Amino acid sequence: MAEAKPRILIIEDDPDIAALEKDYLEIHNYEVVIEPDGRQGAERAVKESFALILLDVMLPGKDGMALCREIRAKTDIPILMVTARVEDSDKILGLGLGADDYITKPFSIAELVARVKSHIARYARLTKAQGVAGDELDFGNIRINLASRKVFVDETEVLLTRKEFELLCFLASNRDIVFSKEQIYDRIWGEDLHGDISTVTVHIKRLREKIEKNPGDPAHIQTVWGTGYKFTAKAAR
């Protein structure tokens, strides 16, 4: 029996762009579904099985940023945002809402296909590596269940995006080891050669807001000035 092709959902209201993306992804052995309506696309994203979502930022009705937040709250599959906006603030907002990456129009088809492959492969490796039931990291008031991909602070579950979860697991699994922004970026986003290292700072900030009692004076995810970041297991202040 032939192995099933990875399914990709394209949420894009421009039929020419959607058709172009679909044609080239199908050439590279992906099954592609196009949904021009943002709301219907968000519904399909969580009801059906997809390996990755290509989400346009500028959609009629509900924009891609809002849809990204809705989709990420219900599934952790990779979301690649497609945008004509070039401002860093827009890109950072999308990453903060749970997008894994962004690609700016006009883009090369080769770059699009490379990013799709990269994120699907990374997600598959992460899922496989964290598939051992009952595997946990416990730091007193913070508990990370690798199998269920859930994080608890003082026994209350906190919701993390997929990249936030990966970042927390990486730092917590290497506690008291200092990593530079470059090292962290290479570990979490390393296969995307076109990304922005400021992504690390954004995700560290959002992660602190979710797991630290005092994000301005963090007890766990600490800044080592001039070097990078480290995770420490000492009691929260």
pLDDT by residue (tens digit) across 101-155? 888 888 888 888 998 988 888 877 766 654 444 467 888 788 888 777 889 998 8
Residue 90: per-residue pLDDT: 60
Residue 36: per-residue pLDDT: 92
Among 31-45, 67-81, 111-125, 183-197, name the most confident range. Answer: 31-45
User: CA–CA separation, 162 vs 165, rounded Å?
Assistant: 5
Residue 104: per-residue pLDDT: 82
Residue 132: per-residue pLDDT: 42
More confident residue, 76 or 50: 50
Look up the pTM and report it.
0.59
User: CA–CA separation, 75 vs 70, rounded Å?
Assistant: 9
pLDDT at 25 over 90: yes
User: CA–CA separation, 11 vs 58, rounded Å?
Assistant: 10
What does the block give as tokens for 8? Answer: 């990709």
